[in-house]
Amino acid sequence: MIEIICNINIKRNGTAFLDSPKTSLLNAIDFSGSLSSAVKMLNISYQHAWNMINDMNKLAPQPLVVKQRGGLNGGGAQLSDYGKRVIKEYRFIEEHVNSLVQKINVEITL
């Protein structure tokens, strides 16, 4: 069986901005409210996660993730309103691309 698989990579000014691993991280942060919890959920290193966040934030007109340093109640990380909008638009694109790919896979007869 032949199957088309499509990965979505969004570039900003020619540089990788969003892809599946980055959006998974953003979703995990949104779900958990914590970078530490998000990296455990995704089984990635804390440093790698910060590198992804910094890369996205540098390319974006506004930060996607807002961080709070540890304190009395501990630190945290959350998506900014802009970050939530970016995730919503990424999901919209992903749904439409996946729908098209499914149609192609049904019609393909190689």
Q: Which domains does the chain possess? A: 10-107 (1.10.10.10)
- 31, 102, 90: which is closest to 60 by C-alpha? 90
- 33, 40, 22: which is closest to 94 by C-alpha? 22
Per-residue confidence in pLDDT tens, the chain, 110 aa: 778 899 999 999 999 999 999 999 999 999 998 899 999 999 999 999 999 999 999 999 999 999 876 655 666 789 999 999 999 999 999 999 999 999 888 887 77
Does the predicted model carry a pTM greater than 0.95? no
Report the pLDDT value the prediction gives residue 77, as an integer from 0 to 100: 87
Beta bridge partners of 76: 68
